[in-house]
Amino acid sequence: MEIKFNKQVKILDKKKKINIKEWMGGYLFIAPALILIILLVIYPLLRGIMLSFTDQNLLKSWSYNFIGINNYKTIFHDNEMRKVMQNTIEFVLTVTIFTIIFGLLLGTFLNEIKKGKNFIRALMFLPWVLPEVIVGAIWRWILNGEKGILDSLLVDRFHLFHSYIQWLDSGLALISIIGVYIWRTYPFVTIMISAGLQNIDRELYEAAQIDGATKVQSFFYITIPQLRYILTICTLIVTIWTTNAFGILNVMTGGGPLDATTTLPIYIYNTAFQNFRMGYAATISVVQFVIILIFSLVYLKFTATIDGE
């Protein structure tokens, strides 16, 4: 009995050693990725949060003092921050709503096409695959108030206006930026909707047609309910993207004129790299991080619910 017991103990010891080796081997394999995540994500995040509690201003000194939550208090009394938040909310809501509407309509239209569907789909997806800097440069040239192609067509070609319109240097700047971002983002929603429509049972439409339902009624009572999960996911993703939008906006206006198109990312950039108020910029970054984190958690919760079903 003792011999058998000793053999069992030895077998268990070998299994433990094997498990420890497998455990160590697994961590060695993921170690490079963990190191990159720590260096590129976790450390900058913690560093930014720490910096938000300081008064660092590179115009004065590289050193800084710990000032607690004074920067966070300043946000509530910052008139420019109020304007920035107003611009951000207007920008995010408008882009998200119209992107979802256009994506839904175009996705439905694309699903009804019989010939050339792949070509049209590739053409629609073109704005999405272009780099943001290229998109910003193209639209800045198109909307240029002196030699832009849009003004040339409206004024010189079709004579719809008597003078050139300053699309990016007037009260129309934010509307113009919103239009560009809708143009940039709608292909993603269109492709998602188009894919979702292919999974809807055609018998639902046939049954509705037999009952006398029109195409409009079928759209509202069959198509939209069947796409509610995809529409919700697209809404959350587009909201996160637009809240964090920077590249196109910075190339086209840089937040001007007179902060008319300054959103949170632009304000953070200008505060940090033009005014060199690193502490206050870090504070605004934390605020933006919390906003995006909330939407991200809602997105993860929603997708987890879908997977659970």
Q: Is the pLDDT of residue 5 over 70?
A: no
Question: How many Å apart are CA 18 and CA 13, to the nearest integer?
Answer: 9
Please, what is the average pLDDT of the chain? 86
CATH of the domain at 152: 1.10.3720.10
Residue 17 lies in a domain: no
Query: What is the end-to-end Cα distance of the chain in Å, rounded?
Result: 52
246-272 average pLDDT score: 92
CB atoms under 10 Å from CB of 104, counted, come to 24
**Which pLDDT value is given to residue 18?**
52
The domain in which residue 289 lies consists of 75-308
**71-120 residue pLDDT tens:** 999 998 888 999 999 999 999 999 999 999 999 999 888 888 877 777 88
What is the amino acid identity at position 192?
A: M
Give the model's pLDDT for residue 121: 78
Query: Per the domain annotation, does 286 fall within a domain?
Result: yes
Is the pLDDT at 4 greater than 70? The verdict is: no
For 130-140, write each residue's pLDDT tens digit.
899 999 999 99
Alpha-helix residue ranges (DSSP H) falling in the chain: 2-37, 43-51, 70-77, 79-112, 117-129, 132-142, 149-151, 173-197, 202-210, 215-218, 224-226, 228-243, 247-252, 264-273, 278-308
More confidently predicted of 124 and 53: 53
Evaluate if residue 1 carries a pLDDT over 60. Answer: no
Residue 267 lies in a domain: yes
Residue of higher predicted confidence among 307 and 209: 209
On the question of pLDDT at 65 being above 80, the answer is yes
Overall average pLDDT of the 203-217 stretch = 87
Answer yes or no: is pLDDT of 3 > 70: no
How many structural domains compose the chain? 1
What does the alpha-carbon distance between residue 100 and residue 188 come to, in Å, rounded to a whole number?
10
Q: Can you give the pLDDT at residue 9?
A: 46
